[in-house]
Amino acid sequence: MFGLLKCAQPLLGKLHSSQSNRRGLKVAVVGAAGGIGQPLSLLLKLNPHIEHLALHDLRNTQGVAMDLSHIDTPATVCPFEGGDGKSLRRAMFMADIVVVPAGLPRQPGMSRTDLVKVNASVAADVAFAASEVCPRAFIAFITNPVNVVVPLAATVLKAKCNYDPNRLFGVTSLDLVRARTFVGDALNVNPLKVEVPVIGGHTGKTILPILSQCTPAYNGTDEEVEELIKRIQGAGTEVVNAKKGEGSATLSMAHAANLFVGNLIKAIKGSDKPIVECAYVESEVTEAQFFATPFVLGPQGIKENLGLPDMNDVEMEALEKMLPELKANIEAGIKLGKDFAGQD
């Protein structure tokens, strides 16, 4: 509790002096009181490598942080509240990793792209704050529409001369988690033993599972393959509809984001084994300027993009068909980013 009270209402000056000699790893969660933010913050509090966990939201982080601070793991938990840029900057100050589950979730009948009007400003705010208070942080956006939000944030960071494409990620881990689960069910094997590349973006047909490269092999009929791909692509909507207006995937997303952040932490700390991850990042692999493929992570972020997996003709065709939609999303994000940067 002392760790919490110590920094419950920090002043930027105090943070400067208390954190300048800091050696431990700091993770900031933006949107920490929300449906994803709370379980994600819990999972991060359980990570023994995190020394400082900063929880930011518009409201309610005092209670969440107090609750988590009673868990017997090393991380101190500090709450930051408010829609002003000051509390966001305090939360993100000198963070090594900023993970962002802030913003509006879908209601039944909405597409992820419908969220852009509300969520674009969340992405821009985080990018402006990062460029000022943690320009070397790894930033992982969960906020939808991921396809638009990441190019938007990249454009703002570029305008502030603080963009490192190796450190900015759109979290697509839930697509991989779902692909492993559904293939595991179909093959009747432990999903943790399944590997399936899922590339592209994070909406509808831009989510492209590459079942031909699945291990163990998935040898369904063409119809079964098509059905499984549709299930993975539509899994977010499946949850939105099941929740009947009470939001979208939160618990599975918190798990998926925790896996991703866990790997970012391993990469920052240095690992003997290569850390292979997959996320929506700036890319030269296709005509789309942002694209999710597997990559190797190191302490400075993406070390090597592993490019497209092998694909069969059907998968190649699906890739060609989805690129125009993904490119349009990216263009929209870049335009919005320029608008925000111009207003600053």
Ligand X SMILES: O=C([O-])CC(=O)C(=O)O
Q: Which residues are annotated as a binding site for NAD(+)?
A: 31-37, 57, 119, 142-144, 253
Cα-Cα end-to-end distance for the chain: 38
Contact 1, 70 (CB under 8 A): yes
Which tokens go with 25?
């790893």
Q: Which is nearer to ligand NAI, 224 or 344 (CB)?
A: 344
Instruction: State the number of binding residues for ligand X (CB under 6 A).
Output: 11
Q: Which is nearer to ligand X, 248 or 329 (CB)?
A: 248
What x-and-dash track marks residues 268-297 binding ligand NAI by CB under 6 A? Answer: ------------------------------
Judged by CB under 6 A, the residue of 78, 104, 239, 292 near ligand X is 239
Indicate whether 249 belongs to the interface with ligand NAI (CB under 6 A): yes
Which tokens go with 68?
């988590």
Q: What are the beta bridge partners of residue 47?
A: none
Q: How many CB atoms lie within 10 A of CB 324?
A: 11
Query: According to DSSP H, which parts of 30-172 are helical?
Result: 37-45, 61-69, 85-92, 116-133, 146-159
Q: Which is nearer to ligand NAI, 230 or 269 (CB)?
A: 230
What x-and-dash track marks residues 124-153 binding ligand NAI by CB under 6 A? Answer: -x----------------xxx-x-------
Which tokens go with 226?
């098509």
Give the burial string for 259-269 (b: 16+ CB within 10 Å, else e).
Answer: bbbbbbbbbbe
Q: Based on the residue annotation, tell me whether 16 is a catalytic residue of this protein.
A: no
Label the pairing between strands 97-100 and 25-30.
parallel
- Tell me the closest approach of the beta carbon of residue 341 to ligand NAI, in angstroms: 18
Catalytic site residue from 52, 56, 202, 255: 202
Amino acid at 212: S
Which of the stretches 32-40, 233-241, 285-293, 304-312 binds ligand X when contact is defined by CB under 6 A?
233-241
Phi and psi at residue 82, to the nearest 5°: 125, 150
What x-and-dash track marks residues 188-217 binding ligand NAI by CB under 6 A? Answer: --------------x---------------
Indicate whether 337 belongs to the interface with ligand NAI (CB under 6 A): no
Among ligand NAI, ligand X, none, partner that 240 touches (CB below 5 to 8 angstroms by kind): ligand X
Q: What are the beta bridge partners of residue 247?
A: none
Query: CA-CA distances (angstroms) from residue 261 to 9, 41, 68?
Result: 26, 11, 18
Burial class of residue 130 in the structure, from the number of CB atoms within 10 Å of its CB (0-12 exposed, 13-18 middle, 19+ buried): buried
Residues of the binding site for substrate: 106, 112, 144, 178
Amino acid at 314: V
- Tell me the closest approach of the beta carbon of residue 59 to ligand NAI, in angstroms: 6
Q: Which is nearer to ligand X, 56 or 106 (CB)?
A: 106
Q: Given the rule CB under 6 A, which residues bind ligand X?
A: 105-106, 112, 144, 174, 236-237, 239-240, 248-249
Residues of the shown chain interacting with ligand NAI in the complex, contacts defined by CB under 6 A: 30-31, 33-37, 56-58, 83, 101-106, 115, 119, 122, 125, 142-144, 146, 171, 174, 202, 247-250, 253
